[in-house]
Amino acid sequence: MQLSEFGYELPPERIATAPARPRDSARLLHVAADGLRDHIVRDLPSLLRPDDLLVVNDTKVIPAQLTARRGEAKIGITLDRRLDDGAWHVLLRNSRRVRQGDVLVIDPAFSATVVEMEAGGAAILRFTADDFYAALARSGALALPPYIARPDGITEQDKSDYQTLFAAHEGAVAAPTAGLHFTPALLETLRTRGIEMAKVTLHVGAGTFLPVRVENIEEHKMHAERGTITEDTARRINAAKAAGRRIIPIGTTALRLLESAATAQGMLKPFDSETEIFIYPGYRFRIADALFTNFHLPHSTLLMLVSAFAGTERIKSAYAHAVTSGYRFYSYGDACLLEKQGES
């Protein structure tokens, strides 16, 4: 399967640089077996069944970009994921100036020792700080996607906009952006309709910003991300499936974690590990029945995922409709509700 099969033309003005306000006023494209229908996110409860179980990602975005000094050299650090021993896998800018054993000074009370250098500018760092997340809040910056231009720096508004109302567990470099559409009012309407919600945690890593660089997509290697599904959440989701209820992930991150923890028989196991799952057309979904997600970049692994879920031709048709109909794309953009291929 070739990378060129997952391209489409997007006018630059279709890239959203700020979210809809209020968030649930964003547009929503319902992609079903019998056609495409235009809505807004606030309509979501009426598009769902009263016994659907939504699964949201409750990761919390951290200010993952740091600037350090090694002598006179300026080193950029983007956190990727926390490792089991407390060290961090990171991506470095100006990595040619860094060697194993170096100390990178971020501020007088915050530094990192280079444990290991890896190919492609990656490294493992061990940070020194009395309170790591407090040090990040003091010295770090939000790592917005490169297509959201902020020439004057990240704004205070972005710090609020780029966080879902489900955010609870610190560790994500990027937001699980489908969750950005939810508001307290929308949650209340969902509850009133009887639609329940379960929470999982996948800390989205810096690899989400990296392009696919191989033409044969089967040669692409995903970056690892840390995820957690509790025993109680796995039990709830298994019980819902056994009762014939639909499981609907809110976003590709929740979907990837569910599928990472699924057995061949379609049961969900508790999970506390890293996942490198790569989903592209031909994949057989074991847990997810529908998917609420944003519009994804051309040639991206997420576009491959939604093509696997809803069908490549249906996704091509949906994206063409979204472009011509003025939908807004990417992290701060509009949303779509995808019915799984072969279902209505």
* Domain range summary for the chain, segments of one domain joined by +: 3-61+160-339, 65-141
Select from 3.40.50.1240, 3.40.50.12370, 3.40.50.700, 3.40.1780.10 the CATH code of 3-61+160-339. Answer: 3.40.1780.10
Crossing angle for the helix pair 301-310 and 312-324, nearest 10 degrees? Answer: 110
CA atoms within 13 A on the CB side of 235: 3
CATH architecture observed for domain 65-141:
Beta Barrel (2.40)
Largest CA distance in the chain: 63
pTM: 0.95
146 three-class SS: coil
* Distance of alpha carbon 211 from alpha carbon 3, whole angstroms: 11
240 sits in which H/E element: helix 231-242
Find residue 32's DSSP bridge partners. 35
Cβ neighbours of residue 231 closer than 8 Å, sequence gap 6 or more: 270
- List the chain pLDDT tens, one digit each, 344 residues: 999 999 999 999 999 999 999 999 999 999 998 999 999 999 999 999 999 999 999 999 999 999 999 999 999 999 999 999 999 999 999 999 999 999 999 999 999 999 999 998 999 999 998 899 999 999 999 999 989 989 888 999 999 999 999 999 999 999 999 999 999 999 999 999 999 999 999 999 988 778 899 999 999 999 999 999 999 999 999 999 999 999 999 999 999 999 999 999 999 999 999 999 999 999 999 999 999 999 999 999 999 999 999 999 999 999 999 999 999 999 999 999 999 997 64
282 three-class SS: coil
Tell me the per-residue pLDDT of 219-268, one tens digit each, with 9 for 90 and over. 999 999 999 999 999 999 999 999 999 999 999 999 999 999 999 999 99
